Every structure is written in C-alpha cells, then in structure tokens.
C-alpha cells in the first residue's frame, strides 16, 4: 500500500542527515495521501542508513497504524493533528536541528532578518509556548500539535506563508506541500536561525526586514495566496 509515497517519505528521511539536520535518530519526516486519508511516517528509533521503503509505517489521521511492522515515530500524533487540521499540508518534518533548537530553547521567534528568510517564510517563525502539565497528562504529542494550531490562530498566521514553528524547550516542526518541501523548509529554517544568531552577536540591534523587502522577496517567489510557488 502507498508504495510511491513510502519511497518519497523514505527519501525525505534520508535527506535529514544528508543536510545535517539530525544526530542519531533525532528527527522524522512524513507525507500524506489525502485521497485515502492515510500518511506514511518514519519508524521510531530506526537509524536512517538502515531504513528501507517497507520500514515506513502507514498511519490514519487518528494516529492508528494501518500497515507496518515497526512502531511509528513517537511524534506521530503531532503529525496526525496537524494533517487533520490543515488540509493544505502534504508533508511534515520534525528535527532537533541545532540552530533552530537554540532559538526554541531560548523561547524566541526566529525573526525575519534577511531575504534568505523571506524567500521561504513570510515573517518571523513563531516559538510556541511550553505545554502545561495538564496538556502533557492529556497526551504530549497530540497536545504539541494543538499548541502549534493555537499559536498560529492567536498570531493570525497562515501555515502556507509560514511553513514552520518552534516549540519552546523542544525543537522545530516544518511542513510543505509534500515531504520534500517540508525538508527544504527545515534546512532553510536551521540556516536562517544560524545566520540570525551570529548577526545578533555582531550587532545586538540588528533589525528585522522592512515589510517592503519582506513582501518583495516572499511574494516574488510565492505570489499572492502563498501556496508554495502558486503564482
């Protein structure tokens, strides 16, 4: 089942260490088949260089395993909540990539300080709050998804225009029209997190981009409606 999607998601997971986004198995990528309402995700704890297409786990939107011998990623419920809520998302990546995780642990949004950022994210990448004890007791992974949704709602952000988030004290999640796009957005997020950190080291008062430049770069690449390059 979903052989093509398994291949696509396998490649996305192999791209995580290739782009230096993960140590050990600190990350997972998934992709969804919207027609069937099923998504494919990395198995939990399996080293990337040992992964095969049939190791990928097929899961429904409630996080139940539909096909696969191995346990799905421990973050499966977060992916499921996001897929359920945002029909426009086709792929999701979660890593503990170093530079974005530094901002997550500092509890800070990653500001739009450069055009590198603006080409992918139409503004700051928000840092969502810590989960409460009550939310953790209810189910850490699913509630992580709900806190991300709450953050975007409260900020009036569009997931197509800002395809990523930090979780305070945890790490980033990114998404896209498919798993490959979600990986690319994770690479960009980690890179701009690194650039920003050193820019602020050089000049603590380094400003964010003026809206006019943010508009120019983001809308030139993504156009109005901001649907991953839809003009």
Ligand X SMILES: O=C(CO)[C@@H](O)[C@@H](O)COP(=O)(O)O
Which residues in this chain contact ligand X in the complex, by CB under 6 A? 25-28, 42, 44-45, 73-75, 94
State in angstroms the smallest separation of the CB of 91 from ligand X.
15
- Which residue's CB is nearer to ligand X, number 94 or number 222? 94
**Spatial distance between the Cα atoms of 40 and 205, rounded to a whole number of angstroms:** 43
* Cβ–Cβ < 8 Å for 84, 61: yes
State in angstroms the smallest separation of the CB of 205 from ligand X.
34
State in angstroms the smallest separation of the CB of 112 from ligand X.
26
Q: Which of 96, 83, 103, 105 is nearest to 149 (CA)?
A: 83
- Which residue's CB is nearer to ligand X, number 30 or number 151? 30
State in angstroms the smallest separation of the CB of 200 from ligand X.
26
Q: What are the residue numbers of the active site?
A: 119, 228
* Cβ–Cβ < 8 Å for 176, 184: yes
- Which residue's CB is nearer to ligand X, number 50 or number 224? 50
Q: Is the dihedral of CA 180, 172, 87, 43 positive or negative?
A: positive
SS3 state of residue 59: strand
**Spatial distance between the Cα atoms of 178 and 69, rounded to a whole number of angstroms:** 24
Q: Cα–Cα distances in Å, from 2 out to 26, 36, 88? A: 25, 9, 19
* Cβ–Cβ < 8 Å for 202, 140: no
- Which residue's CB is nearer to ligand X, number 123 or number 151? 151
CA angle, residues 83, 148, 191, in degrees to nearest 5: 95
- Which residue's CB is nearer to ligand X, number 41 or number 118? 41
**Spatial distance between the Cα atoms of 2 and 14, rounded to a whole number of angstroms:** 18
State in angstroms the smallest separation of the CB of 144 from ligand X.
9
């Amino acid at each position: 089942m979903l052989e093509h999607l398994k291949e696509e998601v396998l490649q996305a997971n192999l791209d995580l260490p290739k782009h230096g986004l993960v140590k050990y198995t600190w990350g997972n990528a998934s992709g969804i088949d919207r027609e069937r309402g099923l998504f494919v995700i990395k198995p939990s704890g399996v080293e990337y260089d040992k992964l095969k297409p049939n190791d990928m786990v097929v899961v429904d939107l409630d996080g139940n395993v539909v096909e696969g011998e191995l346990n799905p990623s421990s973050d499966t419920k977060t992916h499921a909540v996001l897929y359920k809520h945002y029909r426009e998302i086709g792929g999701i990546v979660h890593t503990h990539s170093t530079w974005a995780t530094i901002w997550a642990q500092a509890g800070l949004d990653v500001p739009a300080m450069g055009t590198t950022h603006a080409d992918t994210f139409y503004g700051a990448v928000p840092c969502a709050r810590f989960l409460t004890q009550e939310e953790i007791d209810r189910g850490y992974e699913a509630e992580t998804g709900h806190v991300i949704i709450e953050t975007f709602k409260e900020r009036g952000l569009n997931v197509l225009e800002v395809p990523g988030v930090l979780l305070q004290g945890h790490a980033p999640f990114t998404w896209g029209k498919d798993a490959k796009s979600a990986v690319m957005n994770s690479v960009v997020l980690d890179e701009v997190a690194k650039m920003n950190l050193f820019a602020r080291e050089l000049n603590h008062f380094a400003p964010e981009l003026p809206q006019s430049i943010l508009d120019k770069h983001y809308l030139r690449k993504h156009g109005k409606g901001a649907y991953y390059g839809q003009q």
